[in-house]
Amino acid sequence: VDADGKTIVKLRGYDYEFIPEEDRMAFEDVCDVRAFASAVIDKCTVDPRLGDYEGEIFRMKHPDTLISFNASEGDDGGVDYEAELEAWNGCDILHDEGGAAYESINVAGIGDVPQVGGIRDPWRELEEIQCKWTPGARYNHAGVYFNDKLFVLGGRDGPDSYRQDTWYRDDRLPKTTITKAPQDLTPEHIFKVSSDKDGCQHEYRMWDRTENLEVRRWNRFTRKINVVWLDYWLKGGPGEGYYTFYARSVDPAGNVDPTFKLFYTKNMHHWHFKNSDPVDLIVGCVMGFLFLLFLGYMERRRRRRKAAMKRYAIKRMRRKFKAAQAGKHDGGPDWRDVAVHDGGMGG
């Protein structure tokens, strides 16, 4: 992390012209390693200001000053691109005034060095690392043995530097137990865990054994976790399959479960998850079927009524025809005139 840019460039395989090719180093992923080391330092560095209460900063215990880590900031507040190039650490991707990345950086004594194509985010490694903090070298401090723990209070780490903190050693690793888990071939989705130590936070991770794929990274929770997001019908999740649920506890000292076990102090669980019944889809299909039945019934009823009207009209016309024929023989009106005056053949 503290290596200068020229050292990083040499580790990448670029060196002075008089250095033979076989004597040059070829640490191609040195920037990925450097990013990982920097991330570990950022994760594990103890910042005493995190313990300040709101408003304490106005007592000037920690002056409210902004610290800029950008070495390329000019006097006018803008970006000094020349200084940025000179302060290049060999890994950071630099951009010109237009925002385009430089193809190469001219390093004094070495020449043009191409920039790295990209730096991998070390989030996977950081999830598996738990920090271990120590009080550091100090003197004139106090110590007390209380509740089976040794406490270190205050002290000095320099002539004019005082430590206003308290430390105690906790070397016992927590043990996590899954107290409730879903059964095989069920849509159950509730997990409950407990730890043998107080003040622990719990984390869980989900692994798909069928696809051999991590479907959920380490996530923190308190006591109960709901994995309903697996359900395909309810949440659009990955759906039915064989999964492994891992649980671990993190105590205030940063200790975690050392191993995962399926029995006794069980902190991992294998099970076959089954999607819940698609109730909405079933209800929708049933309602749609009933609606189609209703439409069919109404259409059948309409056609029956229409057929009945036709039969009634035919019978009525027959009666009129008979009456007209009878009247004709008796000197009555012609049946054709009756049909015309009656509004046509339809009655």
Q: 141-156, pLDDT tens digit by residue? A: 999 988 888 899 999 9
**How do beta strands 176-180 and 104-107 pair?**
unpaired
The predicted-structure confidence for 5-59, as pLDDT tens digits, reads as follows 888 888 888 887 777 877 777 777 889 999 999 988 888 877 655 444 444 443 4
Pinpoint the residues of the chain covered by CATH 2.20.130.20.
176-277
> Could you give the CA distance from residue 5 to residue 90 in angstroms, rounded to a whole number?
5
Structure-block tokens of residue 61: 């215990």
Q: How confident is the model at residue 207 (pLDDT cuts 50, 70, 90)?
A: very high
Q: How confident is the model at residue 68 (pLDDT cuts 50, 70, 90)?
A: very low
Q: How confident is the model at residue 176 (pLDDT cuts 50, 70, 90)?
A: very high
**pLDDT greater at residue 73 or residue 190:** 190
Q: Is 104 helix (H, G, I), strand (E, B) or coil?
A: strand
User: Is the pLDDT at 204 greater than 90, yes or no?
Assistant: yes
The predicted-structure confidence for 289-339, as pLDDT tens digits, reads as follows 999 999 999 999 999 999 999 888 888 888 888 877 776 666 555 555 655
- Which percentage of the chain shows pLDDT scores above 90? 27
> Could you give the CA distance from residue 307 to residue 305 in angstroms, rounded to a whole number?
5
Fold of the 176-277 domain = S-adenosyl-L-methionine-dependent methyltransferases (2.20.130)
Report the pLDDT averaged over residues 138-142.
92
User: Is the pLDDT at 65 greater than 60, yes or no?
Assistant: no
> Could you give the CA distance from residue 51 to residue 31 in angstroms, rounded to a whole number?
33
Q: Is 164 left (phi over 0), alpha (psi -120 to 50) or beta?
A: beta
Least confident of 42-51, 66-75, 156-165: 66-75
Report the pLDDT averaged over residues 243-251.
93
- The answer, as to whether pTM is greater than 0.95, is no
The predicted-structure confidence for 315-327, as pLDDT tens digits, reads as follows 888 888 887 777 6
The predicted pLDDT at position 47 comes to 64
Nearest to 167 by CA among 198, 200, 130, 136: 136
The predicted pLDDT at position 342 comes to 56
DSSP assignment of 268-299 equals EEEEEE-PPP-HHHHHHHHHHHHHHHHHHHHH
Nearest to 105 by CA among 92, 95, 115: 115
The predicted pLDDT at position 333 comes to 56
**pLDDT greater at residue 347 or residue 190:** 190
Burial 43-52 (b: 16+ CB within 10 A, else e): eeeeeeeeee
